[in-house]
Structure 1
């Protein structure tokens, strides 16, 4: 029975000749094209240097030269990395969770039933005609492409998701992305800021109340949990939720039912819970009163949004996006950002992350006197460079600009080194050296 599209191409990284031959023969009997590499370095070299279009890579973890995990981490830096499925005879659950968190689509332990193996391949294989979300929807940096990939894999699961990251990194944006790519996209997305609602009102707001439940309750009120219907209930800053309400939320998750304040009737809860926090919930401290049992229930599927200072490739794109929004709201002659303003933005540490970036761009658009936004428009307080010295080394600015251009060239050429070098007007060897220096690829062997 054909389970994948015709002519699907699968890469196999397996050093065991018996296991490898067995897998190749069975997959080819199914009508699939298989490329077999017997070492990790062989696979890395082939995928990096040849224009291969693979729908899936099946990779053993225990290899004679490098680990399968190292193969995945190396190739994940390339544009258009195919999905990875790991097989191993050493199936520790911690390793499985780590690999899935890194972006693997599946993990199987030897020995396995071939029918189950084929079914899992079908699930993990990249579809030829897909309505999957744009992997750059949250940003063009490799870090945010990985976040988008993780959320896309989480999308059609009903398990709770916990999104972590510093204040202002875009946790709600990520939650809405998850909603939009899921099978609940046509259902409500209900966002609740747990830090903004007083503790004494939070239970009524979350679960609703019946008429006469307390003074001022003149009619029945449907809470956020009920209004979410079959969609997503997004609990932002869940780390600020009171301990008493945490216990009731735990019951909601486990029993999938709740009662309105002042009511007796049981109400069915059908939504999916997605939470977010800037706090570290699983660390014991005098200031952390978050329940362990609730933490384990809400963090079944975790994803961390990195701070903006760790994804410099996203800064210019976000600036352009926020400027477009700002200029559409007002009549302005601003044409864009000067290169000096872009360099200043890249060197800024962004303690407020994307929220700070948006605010600075909107202010600059409103106050800039010329056609081009200058550094002083973005940073009128004069903190547009490293706080310690007042200047950013020119080498850092140059490296950041070169890395952005290389990322764009690789994205435009589907990761093909030779074509990217041509676009950049440099030799292939020079491009390899720069990619190795920027941590974008291993040094050429």
Structure 2
């Protein structure tokens, strides 16, 4: 349900299209401000930007381009989100604008029902709605920005390239993209290009006809064909042999492929999503990744940040993996000790989320207590018996972490945080002062 009299800015010089959009939006409960040129829109948006929930802008305007309007408005504090309306020949420009921060684009002509659905998805979200919004990948602002981007990409059929370190969660992101897309009821087919021998990879992706080579006793449907109208996910695309890269390029450009040994083209119905831990943009030369293929795969790019750059997700992931591991075993574990959480926050996590999951599953299998301790998560450190921190330092570190979590959960309200921690406000304030957590005037609210 739209917030009461939600506001939209419309930048459209065509009186017929503009009038049609205005009439339908007002019938749907939007309050619409219509500007007929880019210059007029920039001046008008500057005065009311915070009050607008979305701007719908034509890419081609009579005085300046929609891109220049977007660039100018982006500099205004509390700028509203932008959705572009484009002609078919302007799709590349619209994709570039999405990378720059636009929330969506639609190609003319479009169905009004789909247009209404897309503006509802792209409009500014209120603070109350943000609190109610559930995220699947984590709690940190960095990973939630990734998830928001995936939701924007899910509306389109163009290729998506997911980059990030090994174990960061690229396949999880690809599966989420599939689940929130209109293709969610179709197959999700995952192929690890690094795990299949190079001489077999072409046959596995494209399939082969009977008799295509020695041992081909019957027709074999490849992953591209088995994906149907769903998603074909090619993991570790950077390890694909050069000879096969050329065929992948033709697949994307022509939308069809040939089975090995086949003569008739087979139409590709699936969306292509790829992932790699390599930086394909800087590779080149005789043994590198094809630059033309890279640009066709990276139409809609997204990067998964490593776990060490999103510490807010560690406790969230610990709890999630613990719940999953315990549900598959007969052990009774209540949770992680404060010391275990501190050890997890101090760990560099070179293996990212995959390493964290593996450590939790091992801890559940080996723990002899109801609480997981640091030695359960990091048994390799248990043998270093000579390395002890003063007990007071360990206790202070654990207390500081719990106070920070309580303050974060209560929005910095000392009274509520003290209630969560079961201590008085005076005691909490004294500890905050000792731990250097006091930044401004004391708040008792």
Q: Does 1:67 align with 2:65?
A: no
Cα gap change, 1:278 to 1:402, in 2 (>3 Å): farther
Residue 22 of structure 1 is matched in structure 2 by: none
Residue 30 of structure 2 is matched in structure 1 by: 32
Contact 1:312 1:400 in 2 (8 A): no
Bigger Cα displacement from structure 2, 287-296 vs 368-377: 287-296
**1:276 partner SS:** strand
Cα gap change, 1:120 to 1:156, in 2 (>3 Å): closer
Contact 2:190 2:233 in 1 (8 A): yes
Cα gap change, 1:29 to 1:246, in 2 (>3 Å): closer
Residue 105 of structure 1 is matched in structure 2 by: 103
1:126 & 1:223 partners in 2: Cα distance? 35
Contact 1:348 1:384 in 2 (8 A): no
Contact 2:81 2:122 in 1 (8 A): no
Residue 75 of structure 1 is matched in structure 2 by: none
Aligned length: 373
User: Structure 1 length as normaliser, TM-score?
Assistant: 0.70
1:193 & 1:71 partners in 2: Cα distance? 42
Residue 111 of structure 1 is matched in structure 2 by: none
1:107 & 1:212 partners in 2: Cα distance? 47
Contact 2:210 2:217 in 1 (8 A): yes
Contact 1:40 1:67 in 2 (8 A): no
Contact 1:55 1:126 in 2 (8 A): no
Contact 2:360 2:377 in 1 (8 A): yes
Residue 424 of structure 1 is matched in structure 2 by: 417
1:172-198 Cα shifts (integer Å, max 9, x gaps)? 000000110111011000000000000
Contact 1:101 1:303 in 2 (8 A): no
**1:275 partner SS:** strand
Contact 1:168 1:354 in 2 (8 A): yes
Q: Quote the offset at 1:369 in angstroms.
A: 1.6
Residue 82 of structure 2 is matched in structure 1 by: 85
2:383 & 2:250 partners in 1: Cα distance? 48
Tell me the C-alpha RMSD between the 2 structures.
Answer: 4.7
**1:381 partner SS:** helix
1:287 & 1:409 partners in 2: Cα distance? 57
| Residue 120 (structure 2) aligned to one of 125, 140, 152 | 125
Residue 370 of structure 1 is matched in structure 2 by: 369
- 1:129-278 → structure 2 map (5 Å cutoff): 135-278=134-277
Cα gap change, 1:421 to 1:300, in 2 (>3 Å): farther
Q: Quote the offset at 1:316 in angstroms.
A: 1.2
Contact 1:163 1:303 in 2 (8 A): yes
User: Structure 2 length as normaliser, TM-score?
Assistant: 0.70
Bigger Cα displacement from structure 2, 147-156 vs 286-295: 286-295
Contact 1:41 1:71 in 2 (8 A): no
Residue 353 of structure 1 is matched in structure 2 by: 352
Q: Which runs of 5+ in 2 are unaligned?
A: 10-21, 34-42, 57-68, 85-90, 419-424, 438-445
Q: Quote the offset at 1:84 in angstroms.
A: 1.7
Q: Quote the offset at 1:396 in angstroms.
A: 8.1
1:275 & 1:11 partners in 2: Cα distance? 35
Cα gap change, 1:393 to 1:9, in 2 (>3 Å): farther
**2:150 partner SS:** helix
Bigger Cα displacement from structure 2, 397-406 vs 138-147: 397-406
1:292 & 1:282 partners in 2: Cα distance? 7
Q: Quote the offset at 1:367 in angstroms.
A: 1.0
Q: Which has the larger radius of gyration?
A: 2
Contact 2:139 2:312 in 1 (8 A): yes
